[in-house]
Chains A and B, each alone.
Chain A
């Protein structure tokens, strides 16, 4: 049973527009959340994270929102650029352990 789910396997967006990626989780013990980006033939690259004590974290064009009551987080990319085309994974961890539980990924295509 997947504890972290990304229900949209793919997303297509026009360059300059906003990309919104969603992630849902079921384990209420998760208290730290991360987004990774993966290009073909490369390993995942850390993008942005958020602790459960916050509901928003922003880094340049990337913003992650956390809704603990809904057990939902989202990643906003604005404006989207063609170089953002990649697979995005959300991940979560619980407590002091460092075991990351990953979602299945969302493939983003940014069209010029």
Chain B
């Protein structure tokens, strides 16, 4: 059983809607991530949080707004999305961003399949 859960698993929304994706990790990790996987494209990193502070923002449009209220929870708030934003959104966590200079293994949730109409 994965230690990272995501809700909802599927979401259909119109371009004017506001919705939020939720991620929760039960692994005691300090770092959390949002990734986007579009059809026929590799996983793309969107945001990185370490100890509730954003440390990476990969030039993501402002219609995606992350929130990390504590080290166990991560949200992705969605507002006025476009159809091309339809994708699988994956959350991941790791013990830390790096440990002794080595990338920590990231553990992924099952993802939210988002469809924007």
Contacts and interface: CB of A to CB of B under 8 A. Distances in A.
Interface of A: 2, 4, 32, 34, 36, 41-46, 49, 51, 89, 91, 93, 95-105
Interface string B38-71: 0011111100100000001010000000000000
Contacts of A4: 42
Contact of B42 (A2, A32, A99): A2
Contacts of B44: 102
Most A C-beta atoms less than 10 A away, residue of B43, B92, B94: B43
Contact of A98 (B43, B98, B108): B98
Contacts of A42: 2, 110-111
Contacts of B31: 98
Nearest to B105: A46
A96 B110 contact: no
B107 A89 contact: no
B42 A51 contact: no
Interface of B: 2, 4, 6, 9, 31, 40-45, 48, 56, 58, 90-92, 94, 97-98, 101-111
A63 B97 CA distance: 25
Contacts of B92: 43
A41 B107 contact: no
B110 A89 contact: no
A98 B104 contact: yes
A103 B107 contact: no
A93 B90 contact: no
A97 B98 contact: yes
Contacts of B48: 98-99
Given A98-B97, A98-B104, A104-B40, 19 more contacts: A4-B42, A36-B108, A41-B110, A43-B2, A43-B91, A43-B108, A44-B90, A46-B105, A49-B105, A96-B101, A97-B97, A99-B48, A99-B56, A100-B103, A102-B42, A102-B43, A104-B41, A104-B42, A105-B42
